Chain A
Amino acid sequence: MEGVKFTGALGADEKKQVLPSSERTNRGPVAVIECVQEIPCNPCEKACPFGAIEIGPDITQLPRLDLDKCRGCGLCVSKCPGLAIFLVDASKSETEALIMMPYEYLPLPEIENIVDGVDRTGRFVVKARVVKIDTGAQRQGTAVVTLAVPKEYMHEVRSFRITAHGEVFLCRCCEVSESEVRQAVREGARTVAAVKIRTRAGMGLCQGRTCRRLIGRIISEETGQSPADILPPTSRPPVRTISLDALAGGEDNE
């Protein structure tokens, strides 16, 4: 099973739907809107000063990008709450392509750093060079980083890891590292819940929304089980955090 719905990353058909042609990327920078789920969301439409992105009055429609109107300014990249918009440009060199992406982690890299370019699921693809870092006020707190990668990986690299940093936090809420999770699996954890009870991964503010898939993948890597056979953790209300007051409702008694 592939596709956003099952793995959180685009499948082959979905890529076909959103990736621009090489004719277009050779002409100059262009937005790639990797948005394939019909959710009520439309900040990208307003973000584009050239009217190249259209959603329309029904805000669950997928965005439609007019490839000729898009000038590759990249303003939309930091406006997508789902971090699903990128900019690619194959026109600047024979061998390298530029990829502009939102990056909401700290620390930020430095220009000319060599980092690990990773794909949509976080797997290593190729070493990449940091070309530009934009943290200007119009980015509203989302840093936008441009990487240079060999052209053949232009449509694969979508994020990066700073290699010198060492330990990767897999559960960011509780700061549980990848190596702690691997250790838990080596000690016998076979479900996401078993990893949680040993390491606290998934007990934090986001309740595992970010890390549960990554933990499932590590169990799968360590044990050879298919990711589909690894039990997900129990979901419990509330779906979003809610104040105690709201939960308690208006009156003390029925």
Chain B
Amino acid sequence: MSKGIDVIIVGGGVIGTAVAYYAAKAGKQVVLLDRGDIAAGTSGACDGFIILQSKNPGPHLELALQSAAMYRTLSAELDYDLEYMPCGGMVVAETDKQAELLRTLIRKQQAAGLSVELLPIKEAREREPLLAEDLWGAAYCRDDAQVNPIRVAQGFSQAARRLGAQIRSGVEAQGLIVENGRVCGVKTNEGELRADNVVNAAGVWAPELVAPFGIDLPIKPRRGQILVTEPLPSMLQHVLLCACYLIAKYHPEELDLTDRQHRLGVGLAVEQTAHGGLLIGSTREFVGFDRRTTLAGIEAVAQHARRILPALANVNVIRTFSGLRPHTPNGLPILGPLAELPGLIMAAGHEGDGIALAPITGQKVAEYLK
């Protein structure tokens, strides 16, 4: 007789597959459901930043530091090349005002133990020669890194499968089974599945699963549009963000909404992937579940990238795509048991931090399983 299922995980992105792996590693009987495919949603439509200096000191940064440490050995642990590159990262400041904002954040981050420093443009360009000369400078953190998010989800899911987890793509969680006030399974298009715990790792789609129980999860899809270039020789030494990204994330009140760049939430996020192509992002727009790319968005991202990295003017763009980031009002993911629905554990709402926080989320959520 087979043992019952301990946990059903809804969602096969980086978060769901990470939970599946750490739960299976802890000896749990795991079933992961995804109505589409592994990494077919947000995790297949984002950049691969593992960036620490975008995190607020406190639990956010602490989790990120632990997660970043896990990534260093994760390819070996999963026996799967995650295209992890410990390249270091920079957050570019264009103006005195932005530099001041970075300085305040950095002071707190340094106090929390993060190795980060503010470099004037001359020093920043010694590390990243393609930066425009007329920028203020950049914050530099040697512990920032990058990874291929699709491979992270695939690596976790394949390793989980080797540990006995059932990874079922094409199976949709249509509703929760609740008995005596406790979640005890999931209704799917292939019948009912029962388990002691259900993990909601459905990202931007997470609210759907609990809405029938009168729970309004504060997760909203926020679209990010990204450009992909042709494969290029090595051009960038680091993953690059700009201060606009942090302003859009933490200080939206500072945005000038008469400016299109600001309205679209454009903040630079550039990385060169293991295959040579650059991913150049990104907008941050609340447009519901619309995953199209728009001319205004693409143009604004291209303009911003050209201003900060003028040498990119001549590179060729081969594709654009967009993904929906699971935004929460306080910028933090919703993790752990949901008081209103015992048996349900949340692991969603990471917005732009899902890749960076996936390993630690998987490990922490697996610890909640009874």
Chain A contact residues, CB within 8 Å of chain B? 174, 188-191, 193-194, 197-198, 200, 203-205, 207, 236-238, 241-245, 247-249, 252-254
Task: Known contacts A193-B40, A237-B298, A249-B299; decide if A244 and B259 are in contact (CB<8 Å).
Answer: no
CB of B169 within 8 A of CB of A205, answer no
- Per the bound structure, the CA–CA distance linking A113 and B299 in Å amounts to 52
Output the least CB separation between B311 and chain A (Å). 10
* Residues from 292 to 351 in B contacting A, C-beta threshold 8 Å: 293, 295, 298-299, 302-303, 305-307, 312-321
| 25 CB < 8 A contacts A-B | A188-B37, A188-B170, A189-B37, A191-B37, A197-B37, A197-B44, A197-B150, A198-B154, A200-B275, A205-B230, A207-B319, A241-B230, A241-B316, A243-B313, A244-B227, A244-B229, A244-B312, A244-B314, A245-B314, A247-B299, A247-B302, A247-B317, A248-B305, A249-B299, A253-B260
- Per the bound structure, the CA–CA distance linking A228 and B37 in Å amounts to 21
CB of B313 within 8 A of CB of A241, answer no
CB of A236 within 8 A of CB of B314, answer no
CB of B318 within 8 A of CB of A194, answer no
CB of A248 within 8 A of CB of B39, answer no
Chain A residues positioned under 8 Å from B169 (CB to CB):
188
- Among candidates B293, B305, B315, residue contacting A236 with C-beta atoms closer than 8 Å: B293
CB of B319 within 8 A of CB of A236, answer yes
Task: Known contacts A197-B37, A247-B299; decide if A236 and B321 are in contact (CB<8 Å).
Answer: yes
Output the least CB separation between A80 and chain B (Å). 25
Chain A residues positioned under 8 Å from B150 (CB to CB):
197
Known: A197-B37, A248-B302. 6 other contacts (CB 8 A): A237-B320, A241-B230, A241-B316, A242-B317, A244-B229, A248-B305
B88 on the interface (CB 8 Å rule)? no
Task: Known contacts A194-B37, A197-B37, A197-B39; decide if A207 and B318 are in contact (CB<8 Å).
Answer: yes
B175 on the interface (CB 8 Å rule)? no
Chain B residues bordering chain A, tally (CB within 8 A): 36
The secondary structure that dominates the A interface is: loop
The 10 closest A-B pairs by CB, nearest first: A248-B302, A245-B313, A241-B316, A247-B302, A248-B303, A248-B306, A194-B37, A241-B318, A244-B312, A254-B260
- Per the bound structure, the CA–CA distance linking A245 and B227 in Å amounts to 13
Chain A residues positioned under 8 Å from B260 (CB to CB):
253-254
- Among candidates A190, A191, A237, A244, residue contacting B313 with C-beta atoms closer than 8 Å: A244
- Per the bound structure, the CA–CA distance linking A194 and B320 in Å amounts to 18
- Per the bound structure, the CA–CA distance linking A243 and B293 in Å amounts to 17
B108-119 vs A: 1/0 string, CB under 8 Å? 000000000000
- Per the bound structure, the CA–CA distance linking A241 and B275 in Å amounts to 17
- Among candidates A193, A194, A200, A243, residue contacting B317 with C-beta atoms closer than 8 Å: A243
Which residue from chain A places its CB closest to the CB of B277 in the assembled complex? A203
Task: Known contacts A241-B230, A243-B313, A244-B317; decide if A190 and B306 are in contact (CB<8 Å).
Answer: no
Q: By CB atoms of chain B within 10 A, which of A174, A193, A205, A245 has the most?
A: A245
Which residue from chain B places its CB closest to the CB of A198 in the assembled complex? B154
Output the least CB separation between B257 and chain A (Å). 13
CB of A190 within 8 A of CB of B170, answer yes
Which residue from chain B places its CB closest to the CB of A242 in the assembled complex? B317
Q: By CB atoms of chain A within 10 A, which of B38, B44, B231, B319 has the most?
A: B319
CB of B318 within 8 A of CB of A205, answer yes
Chain B residues positioned under 8 Å from A241 (CB to CB):
230, 316-318
- Per the bound structure, the CA–CA distance linking A241 and B228 in Å amounts to 10
B77-119 vs A: 1/0 string, CB under 8 Å? 0000000000000000000000000000000000000000000
- Per the bound structure, the CA–CA distance linking A252 and B299 in Å amounts to 10
CB of B303 within 8 A of CB of A236, answer no
